[in-house]
Amino acid sequence: MLISKKINLPYIGRNNKGIKKLAKEYGVTGVIVVSAKRISFHLENKEFFYHPGMAKLRIKEMLKGKTDQMVKSMDICPGDAILDCTLGLGSDALVASYAAGPYGTVTGLESSLLIELLVREGLAEMRDEGETLMTRAAERITTLNSHHLEFLTNTPDGTYDTVYFDPMFRHCIKGSPYMDAMRPLTDHSPLNCLVLQEALRVCRKRVVVKEKKGSTEFTRLGIHRVDGGKYSPVAFGIIIKRGGGHG
């Protein structure tokens, strides 16, 4: 009942009815299901629920002393305040939060109300699982349902150390039922120079944009420094703020 109030949608008891039958009965294409196990979104035959993705493996690799390319590109230091403008599934936010340590913070923006809700609740459930590196990282993430340009415009200069963008759904994995369920909920619009100008104003150190390796987006946006692993399919465009410290 509380979830339905948060997103201003009617609460309907299932009464042992299947998802397809409920959707047909109420004339809807998507259904949010709240159970004791989790909150999930069902679209036709596809289901989306929160999952940390590769974050756990990436953190384990960092514990072994390996370099995470995103963390390196973002130049994350202990205690950093990070703004993730495209939260999505929150996997990058978890890794960034771990890298920033116990005194760091991550604010994650998600323009889709439903995705933000599912990720927020998923992170909250993760915090209840016990004391681990992942749960502590989850505790330091604040999620907000907001479009990044609106948020940036209303944020004072130099509020965050690093501002990060990963417009992942413009190049979503084809044929993935999990991603297909999310696709209709996401903002597919590309970044623009105004957004980057605002991000540069709001950051203290740098702005980082994640894209496919070889993407023409970096050229279009005027980003000249691009880093990435030799065999990685992704690359990171970096804009250093003048006087922002590390190069």
Alpha carbon distances (Å) from 112 to 57, 97, 152, 182, 221: 26, 22, 17, 10, 24
Q: What string of pLDDT tens digits covers the 247 residues of the chain?
A: 567 767 777 787 777 778 888 888 888 878 888 877 788 888 877 888 888 889 999 999 999 999 999 999 999 999 999 999 999 889 999 999 999 999 999 999 999 888 999 999 899 888 766 668 889 999 999 999 999 999 999 999 999 999 999 986 555 555 555 566 666 677 778 899 999 999 999 999 999 999 999 999 999 999 999 998 888 899 999 999 987 656 5
| pTM for the model | 0.89
61, burial (CB in 10 Å: exposed 0-12, middle 13-18, buried 19+): middle
- Give the pLDDT of residue 17: 79
Phi and psi of 43, rounded to 5°? -130, 110
CATH classification for the domain delimited by 55-240, as one of 3.90.1150.10, 1.20.120.80, 3.40.50.150, 3.30.420.40:
3.40.50.150
Q: Does residue 50 sit in helix, strand or coil?
A: coil
Phi and psi of 113, rounded to 5°? -60, -40
Domain ranges within the chain, ordered by starting residue: 2-49, 55-240
